[in-house]
Structure formats: structure tokens, C-alpha cells
């Protein structure tokens, strides 16, 4: 779900937070000596002149260009925040299609391109996150267990998808989601900005290096994962390899699920009918101890199904409510509510949430969800109900609610960007009356939000014919995009390709992992290198080795991530903490 405008503690949501500030550090530009007329630095400084007449979109304007010497650079990304020693490179910021839109808002598609002096011949498009609206650091920092793309020699581009959170921000009309009131801004956010930025970056590469990229790759998570899907479905010839992690391929439908979950949780703490529920009270629907009880029930029901009790539900597709409900019932409070048990209402709320949103006729509005041990993690809680006392706030409310109102329904609903207003909106949402608005047009919008902001087509024929490859990695305990939706999409792709989809697209589930990371899981992996080997060496990934974070409950643990529908199963011998003791079967 869009998670760019507000932040929260879990580091696993690194793709949901980014800042454009301090990307161009004063005093770092270095001009080459006069006797080096074709040096990378001189070519960098003259790039705007060299690009005149060569930009694919004639409205392109260079905002800034600098040659940056090797040195430290603040970086956003997975793992611990800090500085990287970035190699010398040409740093360019550009703008395309500047315009005045709805309500007098000034819009443009901005992009940030880094061109290393020591180029490896590859191009990397760095996906965005949440509602975007930030330029991105264009460092290609995609994994805690791999060097950022710029350190590997990639030319890297990032973009803001056509709106700027610092400029396009109206607290009385959705805050940074005000772009949802502008039809073109919606389209740019959903898909239209992507090929424009890719084309601009590749054109600059050709002028700067004198040659096109040898290979082109995309990597992103969440909204960035959806952007990878957009490229594969709409612009199939742009990339040779795509990594689409936790893809928000069904953004508007997932927003319905966020409203559904909010109503289920609110029912647990609403004490007086007809009165507004105080926002801070939502977080008391489950205590941390309550979520731990739910996790224990899931593990008791399903942990051993993959052949090993290890705190992970490897065989998650068979972990259903039918298996879990008896274990929940065994943990139901027999008297007053206490920390070591769950109330009947809490058990019913969990069942309702995991079943996914439906209308009164029983028709699914999004997807169901797997039962998994990551339900007890801070990341899962942050999305569903927020921290104790409402800090941090529920992301389903402040991000999902804002997006559903401003961006994902037509006509958009104008709301103040404050948590209480957004909670009131979600609690009043009628799934029989209002859910259809994600497919509606009118009021100045010729395309529905679903048409503009989803990427769920199973038709990847052009992508396959291009010879491109895709890897999708998704956490089983993702609290905002259900892996069950991703797997249903893959089965559709496989059906269209007569059971041969694995020849060009594979999905890897991560048991216990939340959104883009987090949870008690082996959530550290390098899918970009895997897709590069697939593209360049014809080595299809039969598994991806993943490790746990140093501060996890099982530091140093490793597991193979297996291509769906295979599951990592213990081989019966060897240390169960290491990947080599498992096989994908």
C-alpha cells in the first residue's frame, strides 16, 4: 500500500521511505583538468549540451548535472542506515512534462540518474515505494547482502512518478495524496511515467558512454514491485530481467482489504455504538501478547508440515483456517480476557481478516491471506493496527485510507490528512456501495483507478518473446499485499503458457517475512544477481539462498527460497540451521 508519506520503525519497510534531500552535496563537483577533454568529468559537465535534440521527450530539462568524486554518500535501503563510499560518477537530475494540473498544482516527472566512471555496461532502474513523490537516491541499494548497484558498476536511475511530495501537498485535500485528484498524475503514478524515464535514462547513457547498455534490469519492492509488473505487462521490451518483490499488483483491491481489516479490528474496541472511535484506541484490539498467542496457534497447527519444527511455516499453502481454528479455540479465554488467551471476538476477527474482503453476496473483493507465524511481528502490527497508543499509527489507516479516498476511487473523496478523519472514512466505508468505485470512471477521469494503478494481467506473451526473465519474491506474512493474490496471478500466467511459465517467471515465497522484509524470517537475499545469472548465463534459479538478520531470533540461519509450488523441506540430516540441509520439493 502507499507508504511514502509517513514512516514507521520497522527497517524492513525501507522501500517505503526515501528522501531527495542532500542527494547533491555542495562542493563535491570536480572538473577535470583542461588537458583531459574527453575525461568522464568533462563529458559529464557537457552532457546537457550533448543531449540537446537527443532526449526522447522534447520537454526534458536538465535541472542539475555534476561530476562527483569518490566519497561517502548517505543511503536509504535495507539493513542498517549509514553511509556508503560511492565511486566517482556523473550525477544528473532531470524533469519531463512540466505542467499545471488540477487545482493549480504544478506537476512534472523528475528523474535521478547516476553514471559511474567505471561502468559495467548494465542499466538498473530502481523502483519506487508507497505513493512515491520523492526523487529517489539512484544508488540501487536493493539488498542488505549485496552491494548497491552503483558500487557494482551499474548506471542507475530512480524517479518520483510525476508528483513531488514537497510541492504537491494540500493538507485539506489528502495531503501528499492530492495528486489523486488529477487524472494525468494518477496515470503517471500508475504506469505512464515509467517508459518516459526509462527512455530518457537510456538516451543519456548512449550519449555519455557512446553505446547503449548491454543489459537492462529493474528491481523494486511494494509499489516498486508493481512497477516491475507494469514494465513486464505494458512495456515488455524495456528490460532483460525484472525483480518484482512484494508487488502491489492489485493496489486498489488491496486498499479495500485494508478498510476491511480496520473495520474488523475496530469492532473489537468500539464500546459505544454511533460514536466515533478514537484513533489511538484501534491499536488495543490485540496486545503483543495476544498476537503471540495467535502465532503459537499457527505454529502448533502448521509448523511441522514441512518436515521440521523450526518456527517457520514452510508448507504455508496447506495452513488453512480449518487447521488453525482448533488451535485458536484451545487458546480461547474461558473466563475474563487475559494476556495468555484470546477472546472469542478476537478469534472471529482473525478469521474474518484472513478470509479477505467480501460483499454481502459473498463475492471476494481482493484475496484471502495465508496463516503464518509473522502475524506476531512489529511490522505486521504496524500495518494492521499501529503501535501501543496509536504510535506509530496504523498504516492501513493513514496510508491505505488516504489512498483509497484520494487515489483509488472515482470520484475521489476530499479528506483532511489526519488519522482520525481517515479512520472515520474507513469505518463508514460500505463494501456493497463503495467498493465498485475502484472500477468507476467519470468526474474528469476517463480511466478507472483499477485501469491506471493495477498490474495484474497474466498476459506476458510479449515479455516471454523478448526473452526476458522475472523473479518475484514475496513474504508469506506480508500484511498489505497477500501472497495468495501473487500466487493466483502466477497460476494464471502458467495456465496461459500451458504449464511452462517457470521458463521465464518464478515466484519465491519467504515464510515468516512481512512486507519487503522483517518478521522472524530469512529475509536477506539477492534476487537481482539470480535474475542476472538467468538472463546472461541461462542459469534458471532453482533456489535462492536467504539468511536471517543478525538481530533476528535465529541469527545466521539460512534457508533455500524455493520456486512455487516447491517447498523447502528438511533432508533428514545435517544442521537444520543451514540451507544445505534442505531441498526444494
- Split at pLDDT 50, 70, 90, the class of 35 is very low
- Split at pLDDT 50, 70, 90, the class of 18 is very low
Q: Is residue 236 part of a domain?
A: no
Do both 280 and 208 map to the same domain? Answer: no
The last residue of one of the domains, among 194, 213, 232, is 213
Cα–Cα distance, 199 to 143 (Å, whole number): 25
Contact predicate 180/251, CB 8 Å: no
Do both 408 and 260 map to the same domain? Answer: yes
- 10 Å CB burial of residue 24 (0-12, 13-18, 19+) is middle
Joined together, the cell numbers standing for residue 102 give: 488540477
Mean pLDDT of the chain: 92
**pLDDT score recorded for residue 388:** 84
Bond before 583 cis per omega within 30 degrees: no
- Split at pLDDT 50, 70, 90, the class of 9 is very low
- Split at pLDDT 50, 70, 90, the class of 273 is confident
Report the run of H or E that residue 540 belongs to, with start and end: none
Q: What is the CA radius of gyration of the chain?
A: 24
Domain that holds residue 521: 461-584
Q: Is residue 127 part of a domain?
A: yes
Contact predicate 526/143, CB 8 Å: yes
- 10 Å CB burial of residue 428 (0-12, 13-18, 19+) is exposed
Question: Would you say residue 13 has pLDDT above 90?
Answer: no
Beta-ladder partners of 583: 569
Do both 423 and 468 map to the same domain? Answer: no
Cα–Cα distance, 564 to 488 (Å, whole number): 11
The single residue of 5, 12, 131, 222 carrying the catalytic annotation is: 222
**pLDDT score recorded for residue 84:** 84
Do both 435 and 488 map to the same domain? Answer: no
515 flagged as catalytic? yes
DSSP letters for 324-359: HHHHHHTTB-SSS--TTSB-HHHHHHHHHHHH--B-
The single residue of 478, 494, 523, 526 carrying the catalytic annotation is: 478
Q: Is residue 242 part of a domain?
A: no
Do both 286 and 427 map to the same domain? Answer: yes
Do both 143 and 19 map to the same domain? Answer: yes
pTM of the shown model: 0.93
Q: Is residue 4 part of a domain?
A: no
Q: Is residue 244 part of a domain?
A: no
Question: Would you say residue 92 has pLDDT above 70?
Answer: yes
Do both 471 and 567 map to the same domain? Answer: yes
Do both 407 and 533 map to the same domain? Answer: no
Average pLDDT for 117-134: 97
Q: Is residue 308 part of a domain?
A: yes
**pLDDT score recorded for residue 530:** 98
Cα–Cα distance, 449 to 433 (Å, whole number): 16
Q: Is residue 229 part of a domain?
A: no
The single residue of 163, 515, 523, 581 carrying the catalytic annotation is: 515
The last residue of one of the domains, among 213, 230, 263, is 213
CB within 8 A of 469, min separation 6: which ones? 240, 241, 242, 504, 505, 531, 534, 535
Do both 85 and 199 map to the same domain? Answer: yes
Contact predicate 124/149, CB 8 Å: yes
Do both 161 and 266 map to the same domain? Answer: no
The last residue of one of the domains, among 435, 452, 469, is 452
Q: Is residue 312 part of a domain?
A: yes
**pLDDT score recorded for residue 20:** 30
Do both 24 and 143 map to the same domain? Answer: yes
Q: What angle, rounded to 10 degrees, do the helices at 288-302 and 321-329 form? A: 120
SS3 of 412-431: the string is CCCCCCCHHHHHHHHHCCCC
Q: Using one digit for the tens of pLDDT, what is the confidence trace for 432-491?
A: 999 999 999 998 999 999 999 999 999 999 999 999 999 999 999 999 999 999 999 999
Place of cell 481454528: 325
Do both 153 and 110 map to the same domain? Answer: yes
Number of domains in the chain: 3
Question: Would you say residue 43 has pLDDT above 60?
Answer: yes
Q: DSSP 3-state assignment of 63?
A: strand
Portion of the chain with pLDDT greater than 90, in percent: 88
Amino acid at each position: 500500500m502507499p507508504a511514502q508519506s509517513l514512516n514507521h520503525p520497522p527497517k524492513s519497510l525501507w522501500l517505503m521511505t526515501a528522501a531527495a534531500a542532500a542527494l547533491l552535496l555542495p562542493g563535491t563537483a570536480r572538473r577535470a583538468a583542461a588537458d583531459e577533454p574527453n575525461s568522464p568529468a568533462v563529458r559529464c559537465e557537457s552532457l546537457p549540451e550533448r543531449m540537446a535534440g537527443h532526449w526522447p521527450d522534447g520537454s526534458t530539462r536538465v535541472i542539475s548535472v555534476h561530476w562527483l568524486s569518490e566519497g561517502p554518500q548517505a543511503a536509504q535501503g535495507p539493513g542498517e542506515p549509514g553511509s556508503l563510499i560511492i565511486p566517482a560518477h556523473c550525477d544528473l537530475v532531470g524533469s519531463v512534462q512540466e505542467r499545471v494540473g488540477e487545482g493549480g498544482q504544478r506537476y512534472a516527472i523528475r528523474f535521478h540518474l547516476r553514471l559511474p566512471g567505471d561502468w559495467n555496461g548494465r542499466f538498473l532502474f530502481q523502483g519506487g515505494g508507497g505513493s512515491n513523490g520523492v526523487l529517489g537516491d539512484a544508488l540501487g541499494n536493493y539488498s542488505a547482502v549485496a552491494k548497491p548497484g552503483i558500487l557494482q558498476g551499474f548506471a542507475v536511475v530512480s524517479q518520483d512518478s510525476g508528483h513531488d511530495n514537497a510541492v504537491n501537498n494540500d493538507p485539506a485535500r489528502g495531503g501528499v495524496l492530492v495528486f489523486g485528484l488529477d487524472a494525468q498524475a494518477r496515470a503517471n503514478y500508475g504506469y505512464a511515467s515509467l517508459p518516459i524515464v526509462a527512455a530518457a535514462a537510456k538516451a543519456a547513457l548512449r550519449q555519455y558512454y557512446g553505446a547503449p547498455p548491454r543489459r537492462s534490469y529493474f528491481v523494486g519492492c511494494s509499489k516498486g514491485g508493481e512497477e516491475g509488473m507494469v514494465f513486464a505487462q505494458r512495456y515488455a521490451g524495456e528490460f532483460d530481467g525484472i525483480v518484482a518483490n512484494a508487488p502491489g499488483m492489485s493496489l486498489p483491491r488491496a486498499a479495500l482489504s485494508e478498510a476491511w481489516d480496520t473495520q474488523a479490528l475496530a469492532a473489537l474496541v468500539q464500546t459505544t455504538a454511533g460514536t466515533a472511535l478514537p484513533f489511538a484506541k484501534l491499536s488495543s484490539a490485540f496486545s503483543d501478547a495476544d498476537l503471540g498467542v495467535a502465532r503459537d496457534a499457527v505454529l502448533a497447527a502448521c509448523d511441522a508440515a514441512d518436515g521440521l519444527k523450526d518456527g517457520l511455516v514452510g508448507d504455508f499453502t496447506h495452513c488453512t483456517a480449518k487447521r488453525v481454528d482448533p488451535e485458536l479455540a484451545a487458546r480461547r479465554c474461558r473466563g475474563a480476557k487475559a494476556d495468555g488467551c484470546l477472546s472469542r471476538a478476537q478469534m472471529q476477527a482473525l478469521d474474518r481478516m484472513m478470509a479477505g474482503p467480501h460483499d454481502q453476496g459473498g463475492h471476494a473483493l481482493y484475496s484471502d491471506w495465508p496463516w503464518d507465524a509473522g502475524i506476531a511481528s512489529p511490522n505486521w502490527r504496524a500495518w494492521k493496527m499501529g503501535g501501543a497508543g496509536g504510535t506509530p499509527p496504523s498504516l492501513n489507516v493513514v496510508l491505505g485510507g488516504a489512498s483509497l479516498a484520494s487515489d483509488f476511487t472515482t470520484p475521489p473523496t476530499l479528506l483532511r490528512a489526519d488519522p482520525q478523519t481517515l479512520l472515520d472514512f474507513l469505518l463508514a466505508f460500505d463494501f456493497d456501495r463503495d467498493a465498485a468505485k475502484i472500477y468507476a470512471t467519470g468526474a474528469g477521469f476517463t480511466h478507472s483507478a483499477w485501469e491506471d494503478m493495477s498490474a495484474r494481467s497474466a498476459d506476458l506473451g510479449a515479455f516471454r518473446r523478448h526473452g526476458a526473465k522475472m523473479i518475484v519474491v514475496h513474504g508469506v506474512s506480508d500484511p498489505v499485499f497477500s501472497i495468495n493474490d501473487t500466487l493466483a496471478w502466477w497460476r494464471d500466467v502458467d495456465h496461459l503458457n500451458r504449464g511452462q511459465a517457470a521458463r521465464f517467471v518464478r515466484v519465491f515465497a519467504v515464510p515468516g517475512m512481512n512486507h519487503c522484509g522483517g518478521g522472524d524470517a530469512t529475509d536477506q537475499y539477492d534476487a537481482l544477481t539470480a535474475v542476472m545469472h538467468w538472463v546472461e548465463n541461462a542459469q534458471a534459479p532453482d533456489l535462492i539462498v536467504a539468511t536471517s538478520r543478525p538481530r533476528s531470533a535465529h541469527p545466521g540461519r539460512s534457508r533455500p527460497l524455493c520456486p512455487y509450488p516447491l517447498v523447502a523441506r528438511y533432508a533428514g540430516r545435517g544442521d537444520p540451521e543451514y540451507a544445505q540441509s534442505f531441498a526444494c520439493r
